[in-house]
Chain A
Amino acid sequence: MNRFWGFLFFLVPVGGVATFAAAPYFNIWLPRDISEHGHAIDHLFFFILWLTGVVFIVTELVLFYFMWKYDAKANKKPAKFTHGSHSLEVVWTIVPAVTLLFIAIYQMDAWASAKMRPPLIPGTEEMISPTVEVTGRQFNWDFRYPGPDNELYTQDDIFRTDGKLYLPVGEKVLLRITSADVLHSFFLPNMRIKQDVVPGMEQSMWFKAKEKGGYDIVCAELCGWGHYKMKGRVFFLSRAEFDEKLEAMRLEQNTMRVAALDEED
């Protein structure tokens, strides 16, 4: 009966591994990555998953083994009287320390490229001009495109409040992101990108999408009762389609005739 306890703890590494093994078959896994830099993040994630997975399995199995073997009901040898082992302490201090430091340094480049190296105009220190300004408000994502003059905050800007963001695929795009009221967070799961937007701060985000299609925009910072309602959708189009779409949106904003409305339906 007492071996039951060891067995119960044995279920931990078994169940733990089984969950991660089975999850992809139920489509419960990392979402499809369509970004250029996303593979670095996914790669790092799986590296850590394997590493911690191995450590997890080994330590839990050792724990189970000790529980099984040294169960007082089965093991009649008197307990060893030892206060520790200096060499073991050294080993299991140095090895994890080195491993952790290695992981730390290994990933610095991925972080820098995602957050510290904005795309610059070639030959200058200036960031490329933003493709869109994204404003989070309670409780919607509003978008503002620069319009034909390619400059934000001029009169030909195009405003969209229907939660659908259009961006060109295959190009590095810079987004100006901001908040109209409280903290929100612009999260694109399929792009592996997330940034909290802080009112009063000038913030940018940049990435390059590799595939066309529509993907979720999720708010990832509690912003009030409607936090769950801040649903958006980003559509990556080819450059030609994107330009077409911008022109169509510009025309719609300049609509002065009711007849034009019927064409929108």
Chain B
Amino acid sequence: MSTNSGDHADHTHASGFLRTYVFSLDHKIIGMQFLFSTLIWFFIGGMLALGIRWQLAYPWAPMPLIGNLLAGPEGGQIAPENYTMLVTMHATVMIFFVIIPILAGAFGNFLIPLMIGAEDMAVPVLNMLSYWFMWPAFGIIGLSFFVEGGAAQGGWTSYPPLSVITAAAPGSLNGQTLWLIGVTFVGIASMMGSINYMTTIIQMRAPGMTMFRLPMTVWAMFITALLQAFALPVLTAAGFMQLGDRMLGTGFFLAEGATANNSPMASGGGQPLLWQHLFWFYSHPAVYIMILPAMGMVSDIISCFARKPLFGYKPMVYSISGIAGLGFIVWGHHMFVSGMNPALGMTFMVSTMMIALPSAIKTFNWMGTLWGGQIQYTTPMLFALSFVSMFIIGGLSGIFMAATPVDIFIHDTYFIVAHFHYVLFSGTAMAVFGGIYYWYPKMFGRMMNDSWGKIHFTLTFILLNCVFYPMHILGMTGFPRRLADPYQYETFQNLLPLNQFMSLCALLLVASQIIFFVNFFGSMFFGARSGRNPWHSNGLEWQAPSPPGHGNFDFQPVIHRGPYEYNSPEVEGDYYPQTQPPPEIKE
């Protein structure tokens, strides 16, 4: 029984529990389903990271908890293939099951119709399917831990021949096949979502909501959806090619006579670098998929709590588009030392340098938004500000990598790890926390506890810098990635104490998130009731009830301005929602 959004008027609630809460077609429920699933996987990914940090702090010491389970007979120390599995699956889980779904699936789904004044997404069934297609991925990747050889171990980048020749690694037996299938499901889910978002944003805006009156969150989600739509098919195709190589004897990514671990020689005829091109053609835009929505949300939050219009709205929109456009022509910077023609290194270097520019423009504009404002330090504002501060670090460190001669040295070292953890954790994840604290009242009708939120923020902010900032100097020593025991090299012998410090802080960082989880789930039942617009935000979504019912708005929204008109001279006070008619009409 499908519903068109136009039928909402006579949609009954006689549907049972399954229809309302499990196989719901309501974008808000689907958004929350994404939110809960991704938060659980966030915890799992964090546990995997702690495993990595344990080995780096106490190499070959018996691991707590899993040591006995996995390798008890040998003394409880991690087997080296399991270290590569931890590294691979930590990245896979965080990228495909946490960051991408929480930004696009949770926030995108929940906010887009509310922010544009629509009743629901353009195709609610497709929306529901985009969530439920994640479950086969969850199951398959979860299952891959328990098959012979364990989960995929070739890095989340799964470069052939390691990931293609089944004998090359224990995880390349069945784990890698399951990985490819799981990622394909995620890709399908994302593509369904992206089509829905683009259609909704283009077609279903409320009257008066021109494109340049959209909040930055919606712009970001729109551009992100474009990125998904154009980049994902390449990854999906590459995934099928790798599956073919693994199971059907095709030779897309294997040279003639390819062998590993004395496996039978493959007939080959292909080229391992082809995978790298195809993979990064998607995965570079993917990293922008993982930051643009966060940038959009941060713009909304900063403007609201500085009580000032967003500085440079149109430049902000053009910057996001610029990042996305340039994002398609920089993928080769992951491959500078891969064996790719060095002449290409030159071209990718120039485009990669240029992509720093729109990010810089955005940073300046956020600071411009703060200038002359009246900053209210609520928990969401603190997280949004930390995004700006940390993104500066993450973005600047990217310039080192863009410089190809420097990249010769820092490629595959912890300098890279520092860079992407700064943009993804200190950046996006902080924005995600900010977004959760900010829109929680809209989702659940209650406030999260602000004091505990600030404690959560302070601990997270300090600890994440203790964990990830030293990775820059570690990378300067040449400290390599994915190495289970770097200290046996003379160059890295003295780096154990620093790593132990980082691991301790990582443990405390993960523990601090307990405060967030308790606050998140507890406030659903015990939080103060919030009312429609606890933050006095101008955004359209705050005009709907908290939480919004079916159909979202209890009036037909008509839009008169953008969402950032705080402290406008046209009204008394600093609050001027998008739906409020201008003073001339009132008279």
Contacts and interface: CB of A to CB of B under 8 A. Distances in A.
A19 B468 CA distance: 12
Contact of A227 (B84, B307, B375, B396): B84
Interface in A188-212: 189-190, 192-201, 203
A196 B403 contact: no
Interface stretch (A153-161, A215-223, A248-256): A215-223
B255 interface: yes
Nearest to B172: A224
Interface stretch (B101-109, B278-286, B563-571): B563-571
Interface string B367-406: 1101111111100001001101100110011011011111
Given A67-B375, A227-B84, A79 B409 contact: no
B169 interface: yes
Contacts of A182: 160-162, 165, 168, 260
Nearest to A195: B337
A52 interface: yes
B473 A19 contact: yes
Question: For the side of the interface on B, what is the size category?
Answer: 35 or more
Interface stretch (B178-186, B188-196, B311-319): B311-319
A8 B462 CA distance: 9
B256 A200 contact: yes
B374 A70 contact: yes
Interface string B465-496: 10001101110111011111110111100110
Given A81-B309, A227-B84, A12 B377 contact: no
Contacts of B491: 31, 189-190, 215-216, 218
A29 B489 contact: no
B392 A138 contact: no
| Most chain A CB atoms below 10 A, which of B339, B385, B402, B574 | B339
Interface in A45-61: 45, 48-49, 51-52, 55-56, 59-60
B461 interface: yes
Nearest to B355: A100
B373 A224 contact: no
Given A28-B498, A203-B339, A183 B161 contact: yes
Contacts of B65: none
A198 B273 contact: yes
A244 interface: no
| Most chain B CB atoms below 10 A, which of A2, A12, A231 | A12
A198 B407 CA distance: 18
B370 A66 contact: yes
B338 interface: yes
Nearest to B398: A52
A81 to B, nearest CB: 5
A222 B272 contact: no
A82 B409 CA distance: 45
B306 interface: yes
B566 A23 contact: no
Given A56-B392, A92-B360, A78 B574 contact: yes
B458 interface: yes
B279 to A, nearest CB: 13
Interface stretch (B111-119, B216-224, B342-350, B508-516): B342-350
A210 B498 CA distance: 31
Contacts of B472: 19-20
B155 interface: yes
B73 to A, nearest CB: 18
Contacts of B396: 52, 55-56
Contacts of A124: none
A70 B404 contact: no
A183 B477 contact: no
B484 A227 contact: yes
A221 B462 CA distance: 32
Interface string A57-80: 001101100110011100101111
B293 interface: no
B365 interface: yes
Given A89-B361, A228-B80, A28 B272 contact: no
Interface stretch (A110-118, A167-175, A257-265): A110-118
Contacts of A227: 84, 482-484
A214 B93 CA distance: 40
A242 interface: no
Contacts of B406: 41, 44-45, 48, 107
Contact of A222 (B354, B473, B482, B568): B482
B354 A97 contact: yes
B170 A228 contact: no
A157 B480 CA distance: 32
Nearest to A183: B159
Contact of B84 (A93, A101, A222): A222
Contact of B313 (A12, A26, A84): A84
Contacts of A183: 159-162, 272
Contact of A111 (B361, B405, B411, B470): B405
B309 A115 contact: no
B153 interface: yes
B375 A198 contact: no
B357 interface: yes
A235 interface: no
A77 B387 CA distance: 26
A181 B168 contact: yes
Nearest to B309: A83
A138 to B, nearest CB: 6
A120 interface: no
B375 A72 contact: yes
Given A79-B372, A138-B260, A225-B81, A198 B315 contact: no
B408 A193 contact: yes
A226 interface: yes
Nearest to B158: A222
Given A56-B393, A100-B356, A82 B162 contact: no
A215 B377 CA distance: 52
B403 A107 contact: yes
Given A20-B473, A56-B393, A63-B388, A222 B162 contact: yes
Contact of B485 (A40, A138, A215, A228): A228
Interface string B31-62: 00000000000000000000000000000000
Given A75-B374, A203-B339, A231-B489, A220 B312 contact: no
B473 A29 contact: yes
Contacts of B477: 28-31, 189
A148 interface: no
A226 B480 contact: no
10 contacts: A23-B476, A80-B371, A81-B568, A97-B354, A104-B350, A181-B260, A187-B478, A224-B81, A225-B170, A231-B488
Given A77-B374, A79-B308, A82-B372, 11 more contacts: A19-B472, A28-B477, A30-B478, A63-B392, A66-B370, A70-B306, A83-B310, A100-B354, A114-B405, A189-B409, A229-B80
7 smallest A-B Cβ distances: which pairs? A200-B255, A80-B372, A225-B81, A181-B260, A84-B312, A189-B478, A115-B342
